Amino acid sequence: MINFKENISIGIAKAVDVDQSEIYSYIELPSDSKMGDFALPCFKLAKTLKLSPVAIAKLIQEKYKLDRNIDKVEAVNGYLNFFVNRETYIKEVISSINEKGANYGSSNEGKSKTVVIDYSSPNIAKPFHIGHLRTTVIGGALYKMYKFMGYNSIGINHIGDWGIQFGKVMAGISLWKDEYILEGTDDEIINQILKIYVRFNKEEETKPGYTDLARQWFIKLEQKDEEAVKLWSWIKEISLNNYQKVYDLLNIKFDSFNGEAFYNDKMDVIISELEDKNLLIDSQGAKVVMLDEYDMPPCIVLTSTGTTIYATRDLAAMKYRINEYKFDKLIYVVGGEQQLHFKQIFKVMELMGYEDAVKKSEHVSFGLVVGKDGQKIGTRKGNSVLLNDILNEAVNKSLKIIQDKNPALDNKEDIAKKVGVGAIIFNDLCNNRIKDEIFDWDDMLNFNGETGPYVQFMYVRTQSILKKSNIDIQSINKINYSLLKDDNTYNVIKLISNFENVLSNALNKNEPSILTRYIIDLAQAYSVFYTQCIVISEDIETTKARLLLTKYVGDIIKKGLELLGISCPEQM
């Protein structure tokens, strides 16, 4: 496909003495075709050329040499707007889609590169609660997007499966196992284990001996006592089985479940290395790395009792990943409240001599899940808000809406699952990840707003039109490109052509909402096209051209949602 943007940047570079790659990075895609197909905001060149943006736009307009692919160049208020030859542009876009097929939008930017993504990471011995929704779906989307763009994506679920809290769980089970039913389904057992843990913490406040008991159980676990290891392994298995049901619903995959316990035999090496490099110092009985010159508190590596903490395990994990994966990118999808923790980890690794790995590492943070009142959603009647309950509620609400709107629909339960779960994921990924997610049932299940159900409905509409046409879309191998030049149609084609750029930009910023917003824009543009242009008409050539466009829109909406972890129903 002709790279119009690159050709324009080359033409501008010839007109003025500015690096072509710099100009390329400045060129934008106007939202309105009346403002051109590509635009250069000339204020970005004002400092270099020592002229006003208006003067720069006029200068380049006068010197720019038009070719057969560019119809017109306009200077407007400090912007230089380029209008490409529509028929040529349409032909190039469609040729590219036909050539790449199901891989349209992908690229080779990730060829021979490995990205490691650490996401989800719940603590075992507890049900999967809503607090882990965001890390799970953001990380899952990034995992799929990187893979689609050619990277070797490695998804790691760094589960919390170590620490004194498991001593409490095991101590509680040893005390009260006859009072709780520790059998049945995984969901039932994990809820009983949670009750034991909550009870132990409460009684520990008035029974100091319980703290020692918990510590004794954890020491037994650390020393690989057969009874303790067997009990811990059972709790871990039950927990992971419980989590897998949620992961299956959310279309989430992992390549590794190496959690904190995996690094138990790898922490001594880290501690020795820190000591050898004179980075560890004694501080009130603890071993710490001082970071005051970097405006950070000390990073505790060993507590005053000689035990390791999660910082120690994160240091060991990062070193392991450096050696094991030889990554080009290491991404931690963890909430913004852990920002200081990762700054400390990265700085300590840098001081240890792993500067290159640190440069390739990033903490991808995100906001909280809040209700319409702006309050964090974390408890309901004193209990954790379980993600499985939220997902089931979304499916049930979707089923009720479908039954009200289309009671004769087949496979309503399966469709409701795709719509309900899709609504949860889409709502989470719809806005910039750093913002808090507003959890509002009425908004997220709205079939007319900027929601998951809306874009799923637009996909279903494209499939309905294709089916209604009774034309084999695969048999359409030639169309009249001039029939797609009107503004409404051309706006859709320009969005289609931008799919790869959107994905590349989303990964550059590790921001799935860029893809989510693009899918909304494409669905809305197609809705305008569908309203203004008759797709199936007596003019067979126009019908074929518009059906082909309809197929492309459906394919991209489906692929885009798939990359976010959302399935598309074929009817609604």
What confidence tens digit (pLDDT) does each residue in 514-535 have? 999 999 999 999 999 999 999 9
Given a cut of 50, whether residue 381 has pLDDT beyond it is: no
Please tell me the predicted confidence (pLDDT) of residue 129: 86
Distance between CA atoms of 345 and 357, rounded to whole angstroms?
12
Kindly report the average pLDDT of the chain as a whole number.
93
Q: How many residues does the chain have?
A: 572
Q: Tell me the two tokens of residue 499.
A: 């799919």
pTM of this prediction?
Answer: 0.92
Q: Tell me the two tokens of residue 451.
A: 């929601």
How many other CB atoms are there within 10 angstroms of residue 20's CB atom? 14
Distance between CA atoms of 99 and 228, rounded to whole angstroms?
59
pLDDT in tens, 143-185: 999 999 999 999 999 999 998 889 999 999 999 999 999 999 9
pLDDT in tens, 322-337: 999 999 999 999 999 9
**Mean per-residue pLDDT, 219-223:** 91
Interior/surface letters 394-404, b for 16+ CB within 10 angstroms, e for the rest: bbebbbebbee
Distance between CA atoms of 140 and 85, rounded to whole angstroms?
39
How many other CB atoms are there within 10 angstroms of residue 419's CB atom? 28
Question: First and final CA of the chain: distance in angstroms?
Answer: 36
Cα–Cα nearest to 430, from 448, 420, 444: 444
- φ and ψ at residue 302, rounded to 5 degrees: -130, 135
- φ and ψ at residue 389, rounded to 5 degrees: -65, -40
Given a cut of 80, whether residue 383 has pLDDT beyond it is: no
pLDDT in tens, 184-217: 998 899 999 999 999 999 999 999 899 999 999 9
Report helix, strand or coil for 28: strand
Radius of gyration of the chain (CA): 28
Residue 282 β-bridge partners:
287
Q: Which residue reads 């290491």 in tokens?
A: 330
- φ and ψ at residue 288, rounded to 5 degrees: -135, 160
Distance between CA atoms of 247 and 261, rounded to whole angstroms?
21
Distance between CA atoms of 544 and 226, rounded to whole angstroms?
70
Residue 384 β-bridge partners:
379
**pLDDT band at residue 384 under the 50/70/90 scheme:** low
User: Which helix (H) or strand (E) covers residue 370, if one does?
Assistant: strand 369-370
How many other CB atoms are there within 10 angstroms of residue 162's CB atom? 22
Report helix, strand or coil for 418: helix
Domains in the chain (CATH in brackets) are 4-84 (3.30.1360.70)
Residue 155 β-bridge partners:
117
Give 494's contacts (C-beta < 8 A, 6+ positions apart).
Answer: 29, 33, 37, 89
Q: Tell me the two tokens of residue 572.
A: 């609604």
Cα–Cα nearest to 231, from 257, 203, 196: 196
Give 181's contacts (C-beta < 8 A, 6+ positions apart).
Answer: 188, 192
Residues 263/313, Cβ–Cβ less than 8 Å: yes
Distance between CA atoms of 101 and 107, rounded to whole angstroms?
13
**Mean per-residue pLDDT, 370-380:** 66
- φ and ψ at residue 37, rounded to 5 degrees: -95, -30
The beta-strand segments (E) located in 385-514 are 437-438
What single DSSP character describes residue 122?
P
Q: Where are the alpha helices (DSSP H) in 223-292?
A: 226-249, 267-276
Residue 154 β-bridge partners:
116
Q: Tell me the two tokens of residue 472.
A: 């084999």
Residues 101/63, Cβ–Cβ less than 8 Å: no
Provide the edge-to-edge strand list for the sheet that holds 79-84: 38-41, 79-84, 70-76
Given a cut of 60, whether residue 379 has pLDDT beyond it is: no
pLDDT in tens, 233-281: 999 999 999 999 999 999 999 999 999 999 999 999 999 999 999 999 9
Interior/surface letters 236-254, b for 16+ CB within 10 angstroms, e for the rest: bebbbebbeebbebbbbeb
Please tell me the predicted confidence (pLDDT) of residue 342: 97
Cα–Cα nearest to 266, from 228, 199, 323: 323
- φ and ψ at residue 565, rounded to 5 degrees: 95, 15
Please tell me the predicted confidence (pLDDT) of residue 378: 57
Given a cut of 60, whether residue 382 has pLDDT beyond it is: no
Distance between CA atoms of 510 and 505, rounded to whole angstroms?
8
Given a cut of 80, whether residue 112 has pLDDT beyond it is: yes
Distance between CA atoms of 530 and 535, rounded to whole angstroms?
7
- φ and ψ at residue 368, rounded to 5 degrees: -90, 170
Residues 119/138, Cβ–Cβ less than 8 Å: yes
Please tell me the predicted confidence (pLDDT) of residue 448: 84
Distance between CA atoms of 73 and 66, rounded to whole angstroms?
8
Distance between CA atoms of 404 and 399, rounded to whole angstroms?
9
**Mean per-residue pLDDT, 467-483:** 92
DSSP, residue by residue, 288-339: EE--GGGT---EEEE-TTS-B-HHHHHHHHHHHHHHHH--SEEEEE--GGGH
Given a cut of 90, whether residue 418 has pLDDT beyond it is: yes
- φ and ψ at residue 266, rounded to 5 degrees: -115, 0
